[in-house]
A and B are shown apart, each in its own frame.
Chain A
Amino acid sequence: MDDKTRHILECLEEDARTSHEKIAAMTGLTVDGVSKRVKELEDAGVIRKYKTVIDWDMAGDEYVYAVIELKVTLERKLGYQDLVERLYKFPEVRSVRLLSGQYDLSLTVSGKSMKEVAFFVAEKISTLEQVQHTTTHFVLKTYKEDGVILYEQDHVTRLLVTP
């Protein structure tokens, strides 16, 4: 990856709404040059999506999140792919990761209530043939989401003028 591309990606990762004009001013590229590169990065799938990080607790919504650890048995030939595809099609499943260690897969699941999440796991996940064992951890509080700290911090102030 060249320097300019890294600059563009870091700008957009920091703030997806950064305009191409602003990125141009910050990188020394032309606006057209930025747009062209962004389009290429989108087409190549490097840039997947532009999203908003929302503190749903603060928004007053009753979302409940849980991290589910899955221990699975694998079928010949299919590996994890078949199971993973079945899992990620559920809209309740927010993320799916293959892990090293004691468990195989980790899911993040959301629902309106603990009951709803618990039933979803019991009915839709545990019943899958390959799933041997599930452990559900309900999320009590999110302190940091995708690199963004979700609570107010005191700002440290510098002196206004220093040499």
Chain B
Amino acid sequence: MRKACNSSEFVADVMKKVPPSGIRRYFDLASEIDDVISLGVGEPDYVTPWHIREACIHSLECGETSYTSNYGLIELREEISNLFSTKYGVDYNPASEILVTSGVSEALDVAIRAITNPGDEIIVVQPSYVAYVPSVMFAGGVPVIVSTKLENNFKLTAEELESAITDKTKAVIINYPNNPTGATMGREDFEAIADVVCEHDIMVISDEVYDCLTYNGGHTCFSSLEGMRDRTILLNGFSKAYAMTGFRMAYAMANPKIISAMMLIHQYSMLCAPITAQIGAIEALKNGTNEMEKMVRDYDRRRHLIISGLNKIGLDCFEPKGAFYAFPSIKNTGLTSDQFAERLLNEQKVVTIPGNVFGEAGTGFLRCSYATSREEIEKALERIGAFVDSL
């Protein structure tokens, strides 16, 4: 008889160190309850605009089903290049400085792997999207956490960043507008960060997937800051702005040396992003602005609604100026984030995500996505109010 296989012995050590996403648990809990209102969804509630879907359907009818260039369709890269040139005044060569990827998730993974040697430290600014720390660990890097604070409106300060930098620091990952806080950083805020980054000669991976979802004033693209273009790996995508999450369409932009390195990984793993999605992305950039702006105005109204609602209930909520998340503090209820979220789900059937899922800095907060209909937000606010009153 042959020796039985103990499969777990074969799993690499690093996998055992990466904790499963805390969000997953709430998915399982919520799935068992009927009539749930979810403020736990990190994606638009809109269906992708019809003209984009229609362009994809047409491309399939025409038989456009082949591989594309590893970098992505040149027409798409040219559209992306034009967009950044006109919108942010930063120029990227479509031939060598743009890589089309399957979602920002892939772009992030590839970016980190392309610059990380074993033991290199990568600074992760928290509260943060749940994939940053694991992606650094998978790449053999060491994640170093910097916690932002409510009193600074969850902006990263130069002091906070500087205190985390060591000889081994290779890069810092920033994400503004931020998931889960909705925080944004203006040009002046970024200038101070740029100074520190230059002084210590490190790179910046800037995940700007929420750039179009900025309220009260425009977004500042990090690579548009003086001297930052070649020091930044800029990540962006179509999921949030054009309600295209399932298309998995994104891109990275950087100096050709960095993009070539990223391309090596991408070409031998993903090969290229799906052509149908790339064609949809071209259509989005060519003709999608009006519908996108309409969606953004709608998010803005829901933002006002949920922030004023949460504050009325007595859950302190700073004004998020971007993305589609409210991040109220639940500290004055005496409950932990997990207790609050779990009891709210069980007692009032509202799904929210406890802030600590996004790092220690999120402890005592709750992420409430307002990418859901006005009616659902109103119902959720009533239920949250009833829950807080019952405490």
Contacts and interface: CB of A to CB of B under 8 A. Distances in A.
18 contacts: A10-B294, A10-B298, A22-B305, A25-B309, A26-B374, A160-B30, A160-B36, A160-B40, A161-B27, A161-B30, A161-B38, A161-B40, A162-B23, A162-B27, A162-B43, A163-B42, A163-B129, A163-B179
Interface in B82-135: 129-131
A10 to B, nearest CB: 6
A159 B302 contact: no
Interface in A18-67: 22, 25-28
Contacts, number: 61
A162 B179 CA distance: 12
B45 A158 contact: yes
Contacts of A28: 304, 308
A17 interface: no
A11 interface: yes
A160 B27 contact: yes
Interface of A: 6-7, 10-11, 22, 25-28, 156, 158-163
A111 to B, nearest CB: 33
B42 A162 contact: yes
A156 to B, nearest CB: 6
A160 B31 contact: yes
Nearest to A26: B301
B47 A156 contact: yes
Nearest to A28: B304
A160 B131 CA distance: 19
Given A11-B301, A158-B41, A163-B179, 5 more contacts: A10-B298, A25-B308, A158-B45, A160-B351, A162-B42
Given A159-B27, A159-B41, A162-B43, A6 B297 contact: yes
Most chain A CB neighbours (cut-off 10 Å) among B294, B304, B308: B304
B163 to A, nearest CB: 28
Interface residues of B, number: 33
A154 to B, nearest CB: 11
B138 interface: no
Nearest to B105: A163
B351 A158 contact: no
Given A26-B305, A161-B353, A162-B23, A7 B41 contact: no
A25 B310 CA distance: 12
Contacts of A6: 297
B40 A26 contact: no
Contacts of A25: 304-305, 308-309
Contacts of A11: 301
Contact of A163 (B130, B297, B305): B130
A162 B297 contact: no
Interface in B342-391: 351, 353, 374
Contacts of A163: 21, 23, 42, 129-131, 179
Nearest to A158: B41
Most chain B CB neighbours (cut-off 10 Å) among A7, A25, A161, A162: A161
The 5 closest A-B pairs by CB, nearest first: A26-B301, A161-B40, A161-B27, A160-B30, A160-B38
A110 B23 CA distance: 55
A139 B252 CA distance: 51
B300 A162 contact: no
